[in-house]
Amino acid sequence: MNQLPLWVEAAVAALLVLSGLFVVISAFGFLRLPDFFLRMHPPALAYTFGSWCVTLASILYFSMIESQLVLHPWLIIITLSITVPVTTLLLARVALFRRRAAGAADTPPPLTLRRDS
Amino acid sequence: MPLAALLLLPFLGSVLTALLPTRARSELAACAGFVSAGAAVWVISLFPRVRDGGVIRETISWVPSLGLDLVLRLDGFAWMFAVLITVIGALVCLYARYYMSPEDPVARLYAFLLAFMGAMLGVVLSGNLVQLVVFWELTSLVSFLLIGYWHHRVDAQRGARMALTVTGAGGLALLGGVLLLGHIVGSYELDVALASGDRVRAHPLYPAALVLILLGALTKSAQFPFHFWLPRAMAAPTPVSAYLHSATMVKAGVFLLARLWPVLSGTELWFWIVSGAGMTTLLLGAYIAMFQHDLKRVLAYSTISHLGLITLLFGLNSSLAAVAGVFHIMNHATFKASLFMAAGVVDHETGTRDIRRLNGLIRSMPRTGALALVASGAMAGVPLLNGFLSKEMFFAETMFFSAHPSVEVMLPVVATIAAIFAVVYSLRFGYDIFFGPPSTDLPRQPEEAPRWMRTPIELLVLSCLIVGVAPTISIGPSLAAAARPVVGGTLPEYSLAIWHGFNPPFVMSLVAIAGGVLGYLWLRKHQEQGRLQDAPFVGRLNARRLFESALLGLTRLSRRVLRLAGTRRLQTQMFTIIAVALLLALLAARGVPLEWGDRDRLPASPAFVLLWVIGAVCAVGAAVMAKFHRLIAITLMGGAGLVTCLTFMWFSAPDLALTQIVVEIITTILLLLGLRWLPMRIEGISRPVTARDRMRRGRDLLLAIGAGSGLAALSYAMLTRPAPHSISPFFLSRALPEGGGANVVNVMLVDFRAFDTLGEITVLGAVALTVYALLRRFRPPPESIEQPHQQRAFPADVVTDLVKPRTAEDAARGYMMVPAVIARLLLPVSVLVAAHFLLRGHNEPGGGFVAGLVVAIAMLMQYMVSGALWLEARARLRPVRWIAVGLLLGAITGLGALAVGYPFLTTHTAHVRLPLVGEVHLPSATFFDLGVFAVVVGATLLTLTALAHQSLRAHRRPTQSPASSTSEGTS
């Protein structure tokens, strides 16, 4: 196995540590935040940032070690940046719907609630 | 191979006509007619070879290792039958061209007619008894299709079903009889059987074999008490009736009697059964025929009666009677075919077949009338026509038969009475409709039939006349050739002269004709006064009703047994399946100690243990939640699935993990779609939990724990043993050098065991189509028809950003707009991922299966965010076509190897240099994998969207009672 330059190893390590940090912070937030709508954010953000960091680290590491660009992990980044917002949005709408159906006082009404005559 | 070609010709013609356009009447008739006429000429040209007792034999070896050969055998008797089948078949084809209406899909009719001709030829040409039974059953099947040709009519459906039930059951009995006969003789060859008559008759199993074989023959020939299916079969188009009930189908029964006459006849048992059934049928058929008002029904009962006559002749154990029987088979075929055709002409030109309404037709259709009169004369046994000759021989036989005195007296009397009846119904058929004042109230103005429609009748009637006037010259040689094999080689003395002098048979004929004319006049007088419309005395004795109530009883019995032994409750079924499986496993493991193997264990890693704890919690949680919170249960199951997936990753099985995760996603979507149609569970149980309930729950729990832990123990015992020496080293060592791929799993799937994979994708396609077909008929339970309560949260007329899926054309509105727009971006990305998996599949984890599932998931995602209507209006998915293309691709790739001289599905690897990309490693297995990919995409989409579409369909509530539905209809 050929030896990688030190700066590459340092960068990969930093990215991996960063991703771990994101995940720990989000787990902490997930525990501590009081409300569903608040609690929704940490996993979404951590999921995105954490995975991005891991993917970038993998791209860097394998590109250097195989001495050619390994770009297909980039698909993971693209996929996640599409699916995570969609999932989060849908979860939020479901929570909103359930809260409205339960008749909670502090929820705003639907956008256009009108009765066609 | 003249016989094999002869047998094949009608079947080829059948396929050919089935491929022609269905309303090209003339082309179809020409095609079918030329095929039958060609076959007829072919058969007739073989006459010199069978004339003097010669036999043509052909053996085609089929499965030599099992001693199975196709044996074709043509002797004089089979020759006579083959001529009848092909000649009358050709005439029927010509006749059907003019009889069938332009609206009828006649391609089907001709295809079935030719297939039937082939099946009949197969019966008469068989030189092997089992082969004969196979063709025999084939005639039953094809006759079912022919009788049910107008399948929208209830009488056709019932008639076809009844014919199939009776003749098919008879065929089963015949198979049993033939197997017994083969056991007695020691061979299924017809020649061997024909040569060992004495041995058969002396064998203790002879009565059983005889009764079974006779059951087959008598059901086919519509002999009492199985005669009732024949009148019902009149629902068939007239050309079909003319063919089935003159020369073929019903004649197969008497063919069998004659064929096995040298083997089986000559005993008391044979005499009593065969002649008893024949005599009863002769009399009963003729009696009922007199009182019918439908032209075709008169002919149907007269056919039954004439078949009874033939059966009686074969039952008399005298070779002279057997010759008379063979003669009457020929005569009956000619005059009955022409009579059916004439009845068809009358029906076609006047629009009715009711004898009471038809009168004086001789003025409007003189030629048809003349032909019908001559043919009915032959049926009545008028001198100078062919029916007279064989009837005379029959009378002679009854006169000179020697047996018990009572039989000796009864036989001529019965024969004369039946002949009187025959004259009566012949007069009703011929005289009644053609003479008298012309009827005025007919549905159609009668006129003469087209020239070519009359031609087949003319030819048949002409042959009746020729045989009747000059029998020795015209029919003598053929009759001798046909009768010789039946009586075992030596013909008895007989004379075909018209005039034998003033002897008892002639007196009987005179009495019959005179009595018939008087009886006809008497009957007509009574019927005109409204009396004797139905046959007296036999109204109660309705075999058809007996048959139907027997069937009904059988159905009821089976339903009761099903209710007793079966269950529709899922719980019981699951309990039984698992309990039996556990029991069998325990039985199998008896005596084998369950020990752990001695393979080196890996040290447990805390992370992995934690992972499995999570997985176990998810699994147990799913089981706990499954009762009332199905959604949570499904979510937890997904968690357990993810843990499985991670386990595969942990143990370095990336391809398994990949497959597991996509399958997990698809399964979850499937379950979620199904969830919509399950009724809500009621949480509070009104009645208290009894001790019995607790017992049951405890029992189920014990069973579940037993089965689960047993399976776990088994897998542990397996996994702790070293892997046995199997074929895996072979695959591992050969995959790269010989399969050209580094991913051994994929090389196995698309190369080493590609034929298995081809079979599997075929099954997958078939399953998807089946699911689709079943869901088309899906009716949800009444409590699930309502929209789910989430969708009912707002009144129907409220416009909100919460779009109601059932009414929304485009679900991507309101709150769904943002996710939908983002999710649409996912489609190209997913397709790219799928392409990546597909292309690298041969060397790295991936492959057509995973790629197909990825594309299917991407499409399902679009369904979810945009709604089915929006998506299907824009993307034409056509999953069925995907399946078809995939299967074709797989098969064609395999055939490609065949084309260059390698075994089916051999892989060839090419190295192609493409611009920009460089050297590409392109095995032909990639195309096969592409086929797998397409089938998986199609099958998954078809199954899941079929289920998803249920939400779009408007489901009607089942109406509570017929009364409420009618009141709804009128209001």
ipTM field = 0.86
User: Which residues make beta-bridge pairs with B61?
Assistant: B69
| A109 within some domain | no
Phi, psi of A110 (to 5 degrees): -60, 160
Backbone phi and psi for residue A108, each to the nearest 5 degrees, phi listed first:
-70, 155
Q: In chain B, which stretches have pLDDT less than 70?
A: 537-543, 683, 685, 793-814, 916-920, 954-971
Structure tokens at B654: 């990336």
B249: left (phi over 0), alpha (psi -120 to 50) or beta: left
For residue A79, which residues of chain B lie inside 8 Å, CB to CB?
Answer: 826, 829-830, 833
Quickly tell me which residue has 């707009």 as its tokens.
B817
Which B residues in the span 884-943 are in contact with A, Cβ-Cβ below 8 Å? none
Shortest alpha-carbon distance between residue B885 and chain A (Å): 29
Is some CB atom of chain A closer than 8 A to the CB atom of B584?
no
Rounded CA-CA distance B341/B372 in Å is: 9
Contact B829 A85 (CB under 8 A): no
Q: Which residues does chain B have within 8 Å of residue A83's beta carbon, measured at their own beta carbons?
A: 823, 826
Cβ-contact B846, B750 below 8 angstroms:
no
CB-closest option in B800, B829, B832 to A82: B829
Is residue A22 in a domain? yes
- Considering only CB atoms, B818 lies closest to which of A89, A114, A115, namely A89
A1 within domain boundaries: no
Shortest Cα distance, chain B CAs vs residue A47, angstroms: 16
Q: Do B819 and A85 touch (CB under 8 A)?
A: yes
d(CA A51, nearest CA chain B) in Å: 16
Respond yes or no on whether the N-terminal peptide bond of residue B225 is cis (omega within 30° of 0): yes
Rounded to an integer, what distance in angstroms lies between the CA atom of residue B856 and that of residue B205?
64
Q: How far is A69 from chain B (nearest CA, A)?
A: 14
Could you read off the pLDDT of B726-758 as tens digits, one per residue?
777 888 888 777 777 788 888 888 888 888 999
Contact B800 A86 (CB under 8 A): no
* Alpha-helical regions (H) of B589-653: 606-625, 630-650
CB-nearest partner of A116 from B794, B797, B836:
B797
A85: nearest CB among B793, B802, B822: B822
Residue B922, SS3? Answer: strand
The answer, yes or no, to whether residue A117 has pLDDT greater than 60, is no
Reduced to 3 states (helix: H, G, I; strand: E, B; else coil), residue A83 is helix
pLDDT of residue B796: 61
- How many angstroms away from the CA of A117 is the closest CA of chain B? 9
| Closest Cβ opposite residue B829 in set A79, A89, A112 | A79
Mutate which of B815, B816, B862 to test chain A, going by most A C-beta atoms within 10 A? B815
Which tokens in the block code for residue B748?
A: 């196995």
CB contact under 8 A, A90 and B818: no
In chain B, what residues touch A112 (CB-CB under 8 Å)?
A: 799-801
A116 has a pLDDT exceeding 60 = no
CA nearest to B821 within chain A: A86
CA distance, residue B692 to nearest chain A CA (Å)? 39
Contact call for A101 and B798, based on CB within 8 A: no
A70, part of any domain: yes
Q: How confident is the model at residue A56 (pLDDT cuts 50, 70, 90)?
A: very high
The structure tokens listed for A95 are 């929570």
Quote the CA–CA distance of B376 and B268 in Å, as a whole number: 36
Residue A86 within a domain = yes
User: Can you read off the two tokens belonging to residue B638?
Assistant: 């997904």
Contact B800 A111 (CB under 8 A): yes
Identify the DSSP state of B398.
H
- Kindly determine whether residue A89 and residue B836, on different chains, have CB atoms separated by under 8 Å: no
Q: In b/e form, how buried is each residue of B513-543, taking b as 16+ CB within 10 angstroms?
A: bebbbebbeebbeebeeeeeeebeeeeeeee
* Most B-contacting residue of A93, A96, A107, A117 (CB-CB within 10 A), to test interface: A93
A111 inside domain: no
Asked if residues B642 and B920 have their Cβ atoms less than 8 Å apart, the reply is no
B828 CB within 8 Å of a chain A CB? no
Enter the tokens of residue B957.
């509530």
Copy the structure tokens of residue B761: 């994708």
A47 inside domain: yes
C-alpha to C-alpha distances, B786 to A98, B783, B952, B955, B960, nearest whole angstrom: 20, 7, 12, 9, 17
Residue B133 is which amino acid?
A: V
Binary contact (B799, A114; C-beta < 8 A): yes
Residue with token string 């209507």: B869
Token duo for residue B933: 């990919």
Is position A68 within any domain? yes
Encoded tokens for B347: 């029906």
Report d(CA B104, CA B85) in Å as an integer: 24
Q: Do residues B365 and B439 lie in contact, with contact meaning Cβ atoms separated by under 8 Å? A: no
Task: Flag if A112 and B797 touch (Cβ within 8 Å).
Answer: no
Q: What is the DSSP string of B19-71?
A: HS-TT-HHHHHHHHHHHHHHHHHHHHHTHHHHTTS--EEEEEEEEGGGTEEEE
The whole-angstrom separation of Cα B768 and Cα B939 is 5
CA distance B797 to chain A (A): 7
Query: Closest residue of A to B836, CA-based?
Result: A72
Inter-chain contact A82–B822, Cβ cutoff 8 Å?
yes
Instruction: Using DSSP, state whether B957 is helix, strand or coil.
Output: coil
**Mind telling me how many Å the CA of B582 is from chain A's nearest CA?**
42
Distance CA B715, CA B726 (A): 18
Which residue from A85, A89, A101 is facing B793, i.e. has the nearest CB? A101
The span from the CA of B24 to the CA of B16, in Å, is: 13
Q: Which residues contact B261 (CB under 8 A, 6 or more apart)?
A: B314, B322, B486, B487, B488
pLDDT at B962: 45
Contact list, B814 vs chain A (CB under 8 Å): 111
Q: What is the dihedral of CA B258, B261, B267, B269, to 10 degrees?
A: -40
For residue B814, give the chain A residue with the closest CA.
A111
Contact B460, B375 (CB under 8 A): yes
Cβ separation B800–A113 shorter than 8 A: yes
Q: What is the pLDDT of residues A2-39, one digit of tens each?
A: 678 888 999 999 999 999 999 999 999 989 998 888 98
Print the domain residue range for A23. 6-103
Q: Which amino acid, B157?
A: Q
Of residues A105 and B572, more confidence is placed in B572
List the structure tokens of B576. Answer: 């039984």
A14: three-class secondary structure by DSSP: helix
Which residue type sits at B271?
F
CA distance B505 to B416: 10
Per the CB < 8 Å rule, is A75 touching B836?
A: yes
Q: Which residues of A touch B793 (CB under 8 A)?
A: 97, 101
Contact B798 A115 (CB under 8 A): yes
Cβ distance of B819 and A86 shorter than 8 Å: yes
Structure tokens at B263: 């083997």
DSSP-derived 3-state class of residue B798: strand
Would the pLDDT of A73 be above 90? no
Distance from CA of A15 to the nearest CA of B (A): 22
Measure the CA–CA gap between B537 and B556, rounded to whole angstroms. Answer: 31
What tokens appear for B918 in the block? 């460089």
Total number of domains in chain A: 1
